[in-house]
Copies of this chain bind each other. A is one copy, B any other.
Amino acid sequence: MLTPLIMKLEHFLPVPDQAKEWLNSLVLRYDDFPMHADIIREGDMPSGVFVVTGGHACRYKILPDGTRQILDFMFPGDMTELHSLLLRVTDHGIVTLGPTTIARIDRGRLIAAMFDHPVVAVALWWNALHREAILRERITAIGRRSAYSRVAHLLCEISERLKLVGETVDHSYRLPLSQAELGDALGMSEVYANRMLRRLQDEGLIIADHRMLRIPDVDALKEAAGFDPRYLHLEGAPQAVRDAVPRWN
C-alpha cells in the first residue's frame, strides 16, 4: 500500500478516497531489497517510477577519487521523478540504507490519468517542489554552516520528514543512518560526524543510544542548527488551491 505517500500528500491537501484507491491501483508490484543494495546505479538507463513504502534509501554520487556524496534521503512516501521517461541516463544512484520495500508504479497510467485526478497531480507537484527545496537547503547547509550546525540541522530535518509519515514518537525516532553515511550526506568525514554527534550529546541537545535518537528540547536543537522549517513547506496548500479542488472533481 502507498499509505506513507498518501500520508505525506495529505499534509498538503486532503486526498479523496477515490483518488487514494486510484493511486494504489497504479502499483505494478512490490520489491524487497536488503540493506546496502543498489536500486539504481548511476549511468543506468533510468528505470520506471517507484515509491519507497518501507525502509530507507538515499540518492548518491561517487566521485572519481572514490568518495561518495549522499544527495538526499528517501524515506517512506518518497518517490523518484520521471527521469525514466525524459532522460537517457541517470545522473545518480539510489542505494538502500536498510532493508527496504518499494512499489513500482505504472508510469504510463500515472501520466495519462493524472489528468483525471488533478488533486493528485497537484499534490505530486507540491511534492516535487518540496524535494527541490530540500536540495537547496542542503546546499546552504554544506556551503555555509559549520559541521556542528550541519549535523544538528540534518537531525531536525529528518525528524520533520519522519514525522510526516508517522515514524516519530514525540521527538524521538530511529535514525536510519550510520555515522559514515551521515558524513557522506553532509560533506564531512565519518570521524568528524562522530565528534559533532558526541558534542551534541555532551551538550544535552540530543540523547542517542545505538540509533535511537531523542530530542529533549526541540527549540534548543533548532537554535543550534539554525533550523527554520519553512523550507519544508508544510503549511498545506494555499486557499486558492483548496478552493479549486471541488471544481476538479
- A: residues with CB less than 8 A from B are 43, 59, 61, 63-64, 67-69, 71-72, 81-83, 85-89, 91-92, 115, 122, 125-126, 128-129, 131-133, 135-140, 142-145, 186-187, 226, 230-231, 233, 235, 237-238, 240-241
B132 adjacent to A71 (CB under 8 Å)? no
State A226–B64 Cα separation when bound (angstroms): 7
**Chain B residues, Cβ within 8 Å of A63:** 140, 144-145, 226
Q: How far is the CB of A115 from chain B (nearest CB, A)?
A: 7
Q: How many chain copies does the complex carry?
A: 2
**Chain B residues, Cβ within 8 Å of A72:** 136
List 27 contacting pairs A-B, 8 Å CB cutoff, sorted by A: A61-B136, A63-B140, A63-B145, A69-B144, A72-B136, A81-B129, A82-B129, A85-B241, A86-B237, A86-B238, A86-B241, A87-B126, A87-B129, A87-B238, A88-B235, A88-B238, A91-B136, A91-B233, A92-B136, A128-B128, A132-B132, A135-B135, A135-B139, A138-B139, A139-B139, A142-B142, A143-B187
A136 adjacent to B59 (CB under 8 Å)? yes
State A230–B235 Cα separation when bound (angstroms): 36
**Chain B residues, Cβ within 8 Å of A187:** 139, 142-144
State A61–B128 Cα separation when bound (angstroms): 20
State A67–B142 Cα separation when bound (angstroms): 13
* Chain B CB within 10 A, most for which of A68, A144, A145: A144
Q: Which residue of B lies closest to A133 (CB)?
A: B91
B88 adjacent to A140 (CB under 8 Å)? no
Q: Which residue of B lies closest to A123 (CB)?
A: B86
**Chain B residues, Cβ within 8 Å of A230:** 43, 89, 91
**Chain B residues, Cβ within 8 Å of A125:** 82, 86
Q: Which residue of B lies closest to A59 (CB)?
A: B136
Q: Which residue of B lies closest to A64 (CB)?
A: B226
**Chain B residues, Cβ within 8 Å of A128:** 128
**Chain B residues, Cβ within 8 Å of A237:** 86
State A135–B136 Cα separation when bound (angstroms): 7
Q: How far is the CB of A183 from chain B (nearest CB, A)?
A: 10
State A83–B81 Cα separation when bound (angstroms): 18
